[in-house]
């Protein structure tokens, strides 16, 4: 120990060891450390908070895995492979994963729900309830009755969701229940206890009796008679109900399973499944790539939707699936709609003919999918849009009220349940009379019409808020708005971001139509259409200023033929437009060569030509909505550009073409000023007064102009009032300079 004298010497030698100085040092150290904490901790805390928040609340995602019955070893391998890849993907992205195993029976083949292989069913059940999926939420969904050993992997899941028509069990396919079977069912049921062991064994063994027992602790449980006797020794039995007698096959309907606590929820369709699990639709997907990567193709749906377009798209998709086993279809949509009936047909094909567990369909909308084209997009598994692209609203055609009613039935009963979407939102994109509101419940937001709101089992729990539709106008959404309403899975600025989102290294193979389709699409583009009209009009102008029928007439005919051919095959022109155009040209020719007069045929013919060109540029006759008014403005602008361009080209041709060394013979040169004056003077010097009262014979039909011969003189004459046939005897009744008026007389 250090004595007091030594201590005093140390203090005298080192003043910092004095108590006051030591206290000051300690105080200053605390002040420095505290200041550092105050200034440094907030940035560190703020930088780690999002990561901590993300770790505490990871994004919840779901993956549907379709287990097609009957279960085989191949089905087990496929299901396990897809589940493993889904888990690996969720771990990479640090998401919380829910695997929804949908036990599906092929359509129209209910007998396939039985006959599952026991080994495959047992292996799948062990995998689902094993350590590999310990951190994954596993859910079994039964859209239809399931019997046989496929019951095993169902009871291996943590939760069971059944449609109201579904039935679970009976499980046993064998006539004799072996100890191996009993042990397997008891093992799987004991791992999860989703279905109690006695209930699982009762599903397997028809010789067992199953009871529902309520004890003094107000607990209801499922037991065998032997287990009931053991329970009586510990608790007072309040009630005991026989659920299944010995010798009867055991099965649980959806309502019984829900009442007994075997099924967690009842769900009519996929949308209710996701709602029950608390998963947003945009975070849940069928992912065929889990089976072996993407095999993508791209199919374009551009222009009006018509029956031939729908048939072509369906045929190309079916051929690619059959021949190349594709599992990813990018449907590139650039359409203002068209035939609602044909759009509904294509939507049904995409939603029901393509199994979501085998093929993923993605609608890519860079600019617009208006009116019924929006219905086609929403029938796909995913919708990806540009932030400013348009979904829904007025389209190229105005469907009838009957077509809208029929489409709403399909949306409500089939498409919306299949895709897990609100039918009100889908319908409002087409129906201007449907009012859709934002409704909330405990922080959850949905978008329902009054009718859909009344369909909800807990309708009183929902609070109606703002109206999101405009009365009398179909709902039109930008990409940003569609994402807010949960109609869009992703917003991208370009196709590169689209590929990056789906992990596509290269562009999907474009399934191209024939060369004729490409030509039609190119010719129907606004720029090339204006060019065709401009060239055709210029060629017609050259033909009118050329002797006989030459190259100008041929070029004009080809240009106008290509214009109407592309418009006809493109769906915007029909025989009406072609007939109007031919009639208009005929009237113009009559006015120029046959019936020069007051311009009635000229004005009427010009109006018919303009009307035919405008109608050939759009799918409607008279605009009835906002989009059609905009389209009419575009059509008028295109025709105006063509007309102005034609005037400019005509002036240039009149000045330049006759003086061209190569093409000078194609078009007659207009007379110079001196030549025109000489011609005018010659015409003024013509004296035909001596023909007054003379008779002659017509050499052409007078309609009303033509020619007549008076002795040896051939004169241009005009009929007085009516058409005079060739070879008729006429008499001159008036002469005004070189204008000779005649009337028919009897010979």
- Per residue in 123-161, pLDDT (tens digit) is 999 999 999 998 899 999 999 899 999 999 999 999 999
Q: How far is CA 376 from each of CA 318, 351, 361, 434, rounded to the nearest angstrom?
A: 17, 9, 11, 19
Residue 281: the pLDDT is: 77
Residues 381 and 414 grouped into a single domain: yes
Is the pLDDT reported for residue 677 higher than 70? no
Task: Provide the pairing of β-strand 220-223 with 210-215.
Answer: antiparallel
Whose tokens are 């029929």? That residue is 406
Long-range contacts of 643-646, Cβ-Cβ distance < 8 Å, separation of 24 or more:
643/537, 645/530, 645/534, 646/533, 646/534, 646/537, 646/538, 646/541
Lowest-pLDDT range of 23-37, 46-60, 80-94, 467-481? 23-37
Assign 122 a pLDDT band (cuts: 50, 70, 90). Answer: very high
> Is position 109 within any domain?
yes
What percent of the chain is predicted at pLDDT more than 90? 27
Q: Return all residues near 95 (Cβ < 8 A) that are at least 6 apart.
A: 58, 59, 60, 61
Query: What is the CA angle 715-718-724, rounded to 5?
Result: 100
Please identify which residue in the block is written with the tokens 């110079």.
Answer: 672
- The reply to whether 277 and 347 lie within a common domain is no
Residue 232 lies in a domain: no
For 263-280, write each residue's pLDDT tens digit: 999 998 888 898 889 888
Q: 3-state DSSP call for residue 706?
A: strand
Predicted confidence at residue 659, as pLDDT, reads 61
- CA distances 277 to 141, 248, 258, 352, 372, Å, are 11, 34, 15, 24, 31
Of the listed ranges 43-57, 104-118, 545-559, the least confidently predicted one is: 43-57
Contact 372, 344 (CB under 8 A): yes
Which of 647, 395, 637, 654 lies closest to 529 in space, CA to CA? 637
Same domain, residue pair 300 and 312: yes
Label residue 100 by pLDDT band (50, 70, 90): very high
pLDDT at residue 684 is higher than 60: no
Residue 459 resides in a domain: no
Residue 503 sits in the same domain as residue 527: no
Of 318, 315, 311, 317, the residue nearest 343 (C-alpha): 311
Average pLDDT over residues 468-482: 92
Q: What CATH number has the domain bearing residue 689?
A: 2.40.50.140
Please write the tens of the pLDDT for every residue from 194-244.
999 999 999 999 999 999 988 877 678 888 888 888 888 878 888 889 998
Alpha-carbon gap, residue 383 to 380, rounded angstroms: 7
- Could you say which of 457, 491, 510 is where a domain stops? 510
- Domain boundary residue, one of 629, 659, 689: 659
Residue 521 banded pLDDT, cuts 50, 70, 90? low
Strand, coil or helix: 445: strand
pLDDT of 38 over the 60 cut: no
The reported pLDDT for the residue numbered 50 is 44
Q: Indicate whether this model's pTM tops 0.75.
A: no
- Here the CATH number for the domain that contains residue 478 is 3.90.226.10
Owner of token pair 């594709």 = 326
What confidence score (pLDDT) does residue 387 get? 95
pLDDT (0 to 100) of residue 15: 42
Determine the pLDDT at residue 110.
Answer: 61
Banded model confidence at residue 330, pLDDT cuts 50, 70, 90: very high
Q: Is the pLDDT of residue 82 over 50?
A: yes
One domain, residues 66 and 51: no
Task: pLDDT band for 6, please (50, 70, 90 cuts).
Answer: very low
Residues 98, 26 share a domain: no
Question: Distances from the Cα of 260 to the Cαs of 150, 158, 162, 235, in angstroms?
Answer: 21, 16, 13, 21
Report the pLDDT value the prediction gives residue 107, as an integer from 0 to 100: 60
- What pLDDT shows up at residue 747? 65
pLDDT at 667 over 70: no
585 in a domain, yes or no?
Answer: yes
> Measured between alpha carbons, how far is 166 from 103 in angstroms, rounded to an integer?
11
Q: Is 131 helix (H, G, I), strand (E, B) or coil?
A: helix
Top mean pLDDT of 117-126, 626-635, 659-668, 723-732 is at: 117-126
Is 80 exceeded by the pLDDT of residue 696?
yes
How much is the mean pLDDT over the chain? Answer: 80
Specify whether 260 is located in the same domain as 308: no
Cα 256 vs. chain centroid, distance in angstroms? 40
The Cα–Cα gap between 454 and 340 comes to 28
347, 419 in Cβ contact below 8 A?
A: no
Q: Is the pLDDT of residue 700 over 70?
A: yes
Domain stop point among 261, 283, 305 = 283
Mean pLDDT to the nearest integer, 80-95? 89
Residues 47 and 110 in one domain: no
Q: Is 144 exposed, middle or buried (0-12, 13-18, 19+ CB in 10 A)?
A: middle
Same domain, 529 and 395: no
The domain of 480 spans 294-434+469-510
Residue of 280, 284, 274, 287 whose CA lies nearest to 502: 287
Does the residue 673 lie in any domain? Answer: no
Residue 666 lies in a domain: no
DSSP 194-254: SS-HHHHHHHH-TT--EEEEEETTS-EEEE-HHHHHHHHTTS-EEEEEEEE-TTS---EEH
Nearest alpha carbon to residue 569 among 621, 607, 514? 514
Which residues neighbour 634 within 8 Å (Cβ) at sequence distance 6 or greater?
Answer: 526, 617
In a domain, 441, yes or no: no
Residue 57, exposed/middle/buried by CB under 10 A (0-12, 13-18, 19+)? exposed
DSSP structural state of residue 139: E
CA 551 – CA 301 distance, rounded (Å): 38
- The answer on 361 and 490 residing in a single domain is yes
Is the separation of the CB atoms in 617 and 567 below 8 Å? yes
For residue 18, what pLDDT band results from cuts at 50, 70 and 90?
very low
The confidence score (pLDDT) of residue 150 equals 93
504 burial type by CB count under 10 A (0-12 exposed, 13-18 middle, 19+ buried): middle
For residue 156, what pLDDT is reported? 95
Say how far apart CA 377 and CA 429 lie, in whole Å. 12
684 vs 44, residue with greater confidence: 684
Q: Are residues 179 and 306 in the same domain?
A: no
CA of residue 181 relative to chain centroid, distance: 49
Higher pLDDT, 309 or 102: 102
- The total of structural domains in the chain comes to 5
Q: Are residues 85 and 125 in the same domain?
A: yes
In a domain, 453, yes or no: no
pLDDT digits over 488-505, tens only?
Answer: 988 999 999 999 888 888
Q: 334 with 357: CB under 8 angstroms?
A: no
Q: What pLDDT is attached to residue 291?
A: 64
With cut-offs at 50, 70 and 90, classify the pLDDT of residue 34: very low
Residue 170 and residue 274 in contact, taking contact as beta carbons nearer than 8 Å: no
Which SS3 state, helix, strand or coil, does residue 579 take? helix
The stretch 87-98 carries a mean pLDDT of 90
């Amino acid at each position: 120990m250090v004595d007091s004298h030594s201590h005093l010497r140390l203090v005298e030698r080192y003043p910092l060891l004095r108590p006051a100085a030591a206290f000051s040092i300690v105080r200053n150290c605390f002040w420095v450390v505290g200041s550092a904490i105050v200034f440094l901790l907030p940035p560190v805390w703020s930088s780690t908070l999002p990561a901590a928040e993300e770790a505490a609340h990871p994004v919840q995602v779901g993956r549907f895995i379709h287990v097609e019955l009957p279960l085989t070893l191949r089905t087990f391998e496929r299901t396990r492979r897809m589940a493993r890849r889904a888990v690996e993907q969720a771990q990479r992205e640090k998401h919380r994963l829910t695997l929804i195993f949908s036990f599906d029976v092929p359509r129209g083949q209910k007998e396939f729900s039985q006959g599952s292989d026991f080994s495959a069913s047992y292996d799948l059940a062990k995998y689902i309830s094993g350590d590999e999926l310990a951190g994954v939420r596993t859910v079994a969904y039964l859209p239809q009755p399931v019997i046989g050993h496929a019951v095993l992997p169902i009871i291996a899941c943590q939760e069971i969701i059944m449609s109201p028509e579904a039935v679970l069990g009976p499980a046993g396919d064998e006539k004799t229940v072996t100890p191996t079977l009993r042990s397997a069912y008891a093992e799987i049921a004991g791992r999860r206890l989703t279905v109690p062991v006695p209930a699982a064994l009762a599903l397997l063994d028809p010789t067992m009796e199953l009871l529902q027992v309520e004890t003094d602790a107000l607990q209801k449980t499922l037991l065998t008679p032997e287990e009931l006797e053991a329970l009586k020794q510990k608790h007072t039995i309040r009630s005991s109900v026989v659920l299944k007698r010995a010798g009867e096959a055991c099965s649980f309907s959806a309502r019984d399973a829900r009442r007994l606590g075997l099924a967690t929820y009842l769900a009519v369709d996929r949308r209710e499944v996701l709602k029950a699990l608390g998963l947003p639709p945009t975070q849940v997907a069928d992912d065929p790539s889990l089976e072996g990567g993407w095999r993508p193709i791209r199919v374009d749906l551009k222009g009006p939707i018509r029956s031939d377009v729908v048939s072509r798209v369906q045929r190309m998709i079916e051929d690619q699936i059959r021949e190349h086993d594709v599992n990813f279809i990018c449907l590139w949509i650039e359409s203002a709609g068209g035939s609602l009936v044909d759009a509904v047909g294509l939507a049904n094909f995409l939603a029901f003919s393509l199994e979501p567990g085998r093929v993923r369909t993605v609608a890519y909308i860079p600019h617009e999918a208006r009116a019924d084209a929006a219905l086609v997009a929403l029938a796909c598994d995913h919708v990806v849009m540009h932030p400013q692209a348009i979904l829904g609203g007025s389209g190229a055609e105005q469907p009838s009220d009957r077509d809208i009613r029929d489409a709403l039935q399909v949306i409500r009963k089939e498409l919306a349940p299949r895709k897990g979407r609100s039918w009100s939102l889908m319908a409002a994109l087409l129906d201007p009379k449907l009012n859709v509101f934002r409704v909330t419940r405990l922080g959850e937001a949905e978008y329902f019409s009054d009718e859909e709101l009344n369909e909800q089992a807990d309708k009183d729990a929902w609070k109606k808020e703002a109206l999101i539709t405009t009365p009398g106008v179909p709902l039109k959404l930008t990409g940003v708005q569609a994402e807010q309403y949960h109609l869009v899975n992703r917003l991208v600025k370009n196709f590169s971001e689209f590929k990056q989102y789906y992990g596509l290294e290269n562009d999907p193979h474009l399934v191209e139509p024939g060369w004729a389709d490409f030509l039609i699409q190119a010719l129907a583009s606004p720029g090339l259409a204006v060019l065709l009209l401009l060239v055709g009009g210029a060629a017609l102008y050259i033909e009118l200023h050329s002797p006989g029928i030459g190259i100008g007439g041929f070029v004009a005919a080809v240009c106008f033929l290509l214009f109407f051919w592309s418009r006809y095959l493109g769906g915007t022109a029909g025989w009406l437009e072609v007939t109007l155009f031919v009639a208009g040209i005929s009237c113009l020719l009559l006015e120029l060569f046959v019936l020069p007069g007051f311009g009635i045929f000229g004005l009427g013919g010009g109006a018919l030509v303009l009307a035919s060109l405008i109608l050939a540029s759009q799918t409607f006759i008279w605009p009835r909505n906002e989009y059609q008014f905009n389209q009419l403005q575009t059509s008028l602008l295109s025709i105006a550009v063509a007309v102005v361009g034609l005037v400019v080209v005509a002036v240039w041709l009149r000045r330049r073409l006759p003086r061209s060394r190569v093409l000078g013979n194609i078009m007659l040169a207009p007379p110079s000023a001196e030549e025109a004056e000489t011609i005018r003077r010659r015409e003024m010097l013509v004296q035909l007064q001596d023909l007054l009262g003379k008779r002659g014979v017509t050499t052409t039909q007078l309609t009303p102009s033509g020619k007549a011969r008076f002795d040896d003189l051939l004169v241009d004459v005009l009929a007085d009032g009516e058409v005079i046939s060739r070879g008729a005897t006429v008499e001159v009744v008036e002469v005004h300079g070189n204008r000779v008026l005649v009337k028919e007389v009897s010979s």
